């Protein structure tokens, strides 16, 4: 099966980190209780939870590990999902919507615990600023602020004067959330795989699967080299390539664009606490800094039609993103250095799909669709592991395929 072209250009994390470790290709018949197919951040986190639970599992990826969507991730960690809380409440009810938001917040805390456990240093807590793209968005932003307050989130309101004074940000108004963070999804993925390998888990890359057969008693896979893999259950952590295996209508694919600045000297003042920022535009603009003092700007999404059309837009999109940044921070000299694009998918309720896909016996899916793929991957890992060890997670139905 030929891979989708999930990213293009010069993803910053890949340039900075390169290919940090080597992993073997699977060249023998194999067997495991659980096989995880996909070695990006979703597969790596699922493997972490399964291994901790003592489950016999192995992980395979058709690519070199991390070179799908993970290396293109901009790695913002937010409890806010793509659909505002007040709108999600209207769509699925207040209790479910609030639960989804709080679970996303808990996932950030869980991820911080994981990074400490595996001694991964690139995790920073940050305030998250959700600002109005224009004055006409202020009433909706106020509605969202009230919904979050009523749901128990630590949020504050800032008008344009206070935003300019505190953050140097030119915007009509904003919600400032205390719960937010950032990491490096690509480096974290490799750190997790190294941790798994040291614990004795089998991790393989460049192992393409050409045939999958689901039965009531298990799953069998065939590699491109002709080797068989047998397991009781197969976890699909294949991200946006999963549309090959499931109903394509559940996700709408889009291309997002990102550009990153040259490094700033230590004397250059950026904004207060280098909080992560995003706005109410559709598609929304998102901004963060990196550990080596660069500014990363992303957005300008387009419906995904083909990778050729997507890639041709990188130069124009990076110029637009640079202008977007300058509009909000006119006093910070932004000189772009690297730009890239990647595929992401959105769902009707902004929530991921986690669990069994009824048409495929003994399948489990960890599909962190949306702008919160990393935190959704934490939720998927937790929920799938609970189901595998026969302790059904109480939140499983919120993200199941049966909800549509």
3-state secondary structure 108-153: HHHHHHHHHHCCCCCEEECCEEEECCCHHHHHHHHHHHHHHHHCCC
What is the maximal distance between C-alpha atoms in the chain?
65
Give the CATH fold of the 25-72+186-249+350-403 domain: FAD/NAD(P)-binding domain (3.50.50)
The contacts of residue 232 (CB under 8 Å, 6+ apart) are 33, 34, 218, 219, 362
DSSP label at residue 26: P
The per-residue pLDDT for range 191-246, each reduced to its tens digit, is 999 999 999 999 999 999 999 999 999 999 999 999 999 999 999 998 878 878 88
Number of helices (H), then strands (E), in the chain: 10, 20
The per-residue pLDDT for range 283-336, each reduced to its tens digit, is 899 999 999 999 999 999 888 877 788 889 999 999 999 999 999 999 999 999
Q: How far apart are CA 275 and CA 269, in angstroms?
A: 13
Q: Cα angle at 372 between 22 and 324, to 5 degrees?
A: 100
| Mean pLDDT, range 83-103, rounded to an integer | 96
Other Cβ atoms within 10 Å of 356 Cβ, number: 18
Residue 7 has pLDDT above 70, yes or no: no
User: What's the pLDDT score for residue 15?
Assistant: 93
Contact between residue 42 and residue 373 where contact means Cβ atoms under 8 Å apart = yes
Q: How far apart are CA 87 and CA 141, in angstroms?
A: 11
Contact between residue 183 and residue 374 where contact means Cβ atoms under 8 Å apart = yes
Higher pLDDT, 131 or 346: 131
In 3-state terms the chain splits into helix, strand, coil percentages (rounded to 5) of 35, 25, 35
Q: How far apart are CA 67 and CA 304, in angstroms?
A: 19
Residue 4 has pLDDT above 60, yes or no: no
- As beta bridge partners, residue 60 has 37, 204
Closest CA relative to residue 179, chosen from 100, 275, 96? 275
Residue 54 has pLDDT above 70, yes or no: yes
Q: How far apart are CA 210 and CA 1, in angstroms?
A: 6
Predicted TM-score of the model (pTM): 0.94
Closest CA relative to residue 304, chosen from 238, 248, 380? 248
Residue 3: which pLDDT band, with cuts at 50, 70 and 90? low
The per-residue pLDDT for range 153-187, each reduced to its tens digit, is 999 999 999 999 999 999 999 999 999 999 999 99
Residue 392: which pLDDT band, with cuts at 50, 70 and 90? confident
Residue 6 has pLDDT above 60, yes or no: no
DSSP label at residue 24: P
| Mean pLDDT, range 251-260, rounded to an integer | 90
User: What's the pLDDT score for residue 41?
Assistant: 96
The per-residue pLDDT for range 132-157, each reduced to its tens digit, is 999 999 999 999 999 999 999 999 99
Q: How far apart are CA 253 and CA 344, in angstroms?
A: 6
Closest CA relative to residue 82, chosen from 286, 234, 275? 286
Does residue 283 have a cis peptide bond before it, meaning omega lies within 30 degrees of 0? yes
Q: How far apart are CA 204 and CA 225, in angstroms?
A: 14
Other Cβ atoms within 10 Å of 134 Cβ, number: 11
User: What's the pLDDT score for residue 371?
Assistant: 75
At 368 the three-state DSSP class reads coil
The H-or-E segment that residue 194 falls in is helix 185-198
User: How would you class 168 by CB atoms within 10 Å of its CB: exposed for 0-12, middle for 13-18, buried for 19 or more?
Assistant: middle
End-to-end CA distance of the chain: 28
> Would you state the structure tokens that stand for residue 382, as one six-digit string?
């937790």
Residue 253: which pLDDT band, with cuts at 50, 70 and 90? confident
- As beta bridge partners, residue 242 has none
Q: How far apart are CA 58 and CA 74, in angstroms?
A: 27
């Amino acid at each position: 099966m030929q891979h989708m072209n999930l990213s293009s250009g010069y993803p910053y994390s890949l340039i900075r980190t390169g290919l940090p470790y080597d992993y073997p290709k699977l060249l023998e018949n194999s067997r495991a209780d659980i096989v995880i197919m996909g070695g990006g951040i979703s597969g790596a986190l699922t493997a972490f939870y399964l291994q901790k639970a003592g489950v016999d599992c192995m992980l395979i990826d058709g690519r070199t590990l991390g070179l799908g969507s993970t290396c293109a991730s901009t790695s913002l960690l937010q409890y806010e999902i793509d659909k505002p809380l007040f709108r999600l409440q209207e769509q699925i009810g207040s209790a479910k919507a609030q639960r989804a938001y709080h679970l996303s917040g808990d996932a950030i805390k869980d991820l911080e615990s994981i990074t400490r456990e595996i001694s991964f240093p690139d995790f920073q807590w940050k305030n998250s600023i959700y600002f109005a793209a224009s004055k006409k968005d202020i009433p909706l932003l106020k509605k969202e602020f009230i919904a979050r307050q009523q749901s128990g989130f630590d949020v504050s309101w800032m008008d344009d004067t206070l935003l300019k004074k505190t953050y140097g940000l030119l915007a009509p108004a904003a919600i400032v959330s205390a719960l937010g963070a950032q990491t490096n999804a690509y480096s974290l993925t490799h750190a997790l795989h190294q941790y798994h390998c040291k614990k004795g888990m089998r991790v393989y890359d460049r192992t393409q699967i050409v045939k999958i057969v689901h039965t009531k008693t298990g799953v069998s896979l065939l590699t491109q080299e002709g080797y068989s893999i047998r397991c009781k259950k197969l976890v699909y952590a294949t991200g946006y390539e999963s549309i090959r295996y499931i109903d394509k209508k559940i996700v709408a694919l889009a291309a997002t664009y990102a550009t990153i600045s040259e490094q700033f000297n230590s004397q250059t003042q950026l904004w207060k606490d280098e909080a992560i920022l995003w706005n109410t535009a559709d598609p929304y603009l998102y901004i963060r800094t990196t550990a080596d003092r660069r500014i990363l700007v992303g957005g300008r999404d387009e419906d995904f039609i083909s990778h050729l059309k997507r890639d041709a837009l990188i130069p124009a999109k990076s110029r637009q993103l640079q202008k977007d940044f300058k509009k909000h921070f006119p006093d910070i000299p932004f000189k772009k250095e690297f730009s890239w694009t990647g595929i992401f998918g959105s769902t009707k309720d902004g929530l991921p799909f986690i669990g069994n896909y009824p048409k495929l016996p003994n399948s489990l899916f960890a599909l962190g669709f949306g702008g919160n793929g990393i935190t959704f991957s934490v939720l998927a890992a937790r929920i799938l592991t609970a189901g595998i060890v026969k302790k059904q997670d109480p939140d499983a139905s919120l993200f199941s395929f049966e909800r549509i």
